[in-house]
Amino acid sequence: MSYSVEIKNLDLSFGAVKVLRNLNLNIHEGEFLVLLGSSGCGKSTLLNCIAGLLEVTDGQIHIKGKNVTWAEPSERGIGMVFQSYALYPQMSVKGNLSFGLKNAKFPKAEIEERVARAAGILQIEPLLDRKPAALSGGQRQRVAIGRALVRDVDVFLFDEPLSNLDAKLRADLRVELKRLHQQLENTMIYVTHDQVEAMTLADRIAIMKGGLIMQLGSPDEIYNRPQNIYVADFIGSPSMNFLEGTLKNGSFAVDDMVMSLNGYEWVDGPAADTEAVIGIRPEHIITGELVASAPRQYEVTVDLVEPMGSDTLVYGKLGKHSLRIRMDGQASVQVGERLPIGVDPSRASLFDKNSEARL
């Protein structure tokens, strides 16, 4: 399989502080890869290393089979879109799109053709004669994307391009970015701290923490089979419920409750008398008429209800443990109510308490 970008044993340090540590990552041709993590995890730093904006301490970066570790950004065949639009305020949209091509001494006819093509793809043809001050935030971001598009490169790098926009615009532009990738079929590497962006855009997600990749996989793999507690907690809104207990004879015991784990898929086989953490997503807790057919059944005491239109979030107590439960938006639930719930162990995630790795 051909790789568009290969990162080999990459280290980056600022003085005594290691920001990236022996990082390896292969990105497929035409893939949309999202680097996801909280602030300070190293995702933007990694993107800047790929772009050539930061010098690496050790390791190599290959783009389209060529070692570009020490190459200038202009020699790497990349187009970059930043969080801030970074448009020239005195130039029209057309001037902003064509500026880099003019500096690179492209023929006038080719500049016109590339600008027209990018404007058509991004549907900004009516805006070409406007200045950035006359554009909305979403339109400015499209122009910033267009400036990368006109370069006709193999790899596009996006550094949190939607984070300055309001929620509705973010959702609209997210859809446009996905369509753009389907249309162009170029490799795209996208940095975000927003898990919704990651889940909806990515072919694969690399979840980062402390300069390391904690898990690399498809959105489906990361959601359904998180490899450790950090990933399980990071993905999902509201986040996964965690209960600490002990594994005994193929069952999970927490306080005076014992849950048989028949139907659970083990990574390395069932452990005995191991301190463990079971994780259950709020949307996987069964409520209503289906409880009667659930493999395991319990009762929680409701202590808070959040109606959200399409969903209702219920916060309750299972013994002394807090649980978040996602129910249908039309569900009628009252504070203080005893709510029957069901759990299917095959949809739960089980982790070793000490190593935090998936069992």
pLDDT score, position 270: 59
Strand 155-159 vs strand 187-192: parallel, antiparallel, or unpaired?
A: parallel
Q: Provide the whole-model pTM.
A: 0.88
Q: What is the pLDDT at residue 125?
A: 87
Q: How far apart are CA 57 and CA 21, in angstroms?
A: 10
Residue pair 208/235 in contact (Cβ under 8 Å)? The answer is no
In this prediction, residue 269 carries a pLDDT of 59
Q: What is the pLDDT of residue 252?
A: 84
* CB-CB neighbours of 4 under 10 Å: 22
Burial of residue 215 (CB within 10 Å: 0-12, 13-18, 19+) is buried
Contact 41, 211 (CB under 8 A): yes
CA-to-CA separations, 278 to 178, 238, 274, 316, 323, in angstroms, rounded: 35, 16, 12, 17, 12
How many H helices and E strands in the chain? 8, 19
Give yes or no on whether 3-229 and 234-352 have one common fold: no
The architecture CATH gives domain 234-352: Beta Barrel (2.40)
Q: What pLDDT score does 106 carry?
A: 86
Residue 128 DSSP class:
T
Q: Which fold has domain 3-229?
A: Rossmann fold (3.40.50)
Rounded Cα gap, residues 148 and 99, in angstroms: 11
Residue 232 backbone dihedrals phi, psi, to 5 degrees: -60, -40
The one-digit pLDDT tens for each residue of the chain (359 residues) are 678 999 999 999 988 888 999 999 999 999 999 999 998 888 999 999 999 999 999 999 999 989 999 999 888 888 888 877 778 889 888 988 888 888 888 888 888 888 888 888 888 888 888 888 888 888 888 888 888 888 878 899 999 888 877 788 788 888 888 988 898 888 999 999 999 999 999 999 999 999 999 999 999 999 999 999 999 999 988 899 999 988 887 788 887 778 877 766 666 655 667 888 999 999 999 988 888 888 888 899 999 999 888 899 999 998 888 999 998 888 888 888 899 999 888 888 999 898 999 98
Name the residue ranges covered by the structural domains of the chain.
3-229, 234-352
**DSSP structural state of residue 247:** E
Residue-level pLDDT at 295: 84
- 319-336: b or e for each residue (b if 16 or more CB lie within 10 Å)? eebebbbbbeeebebeee
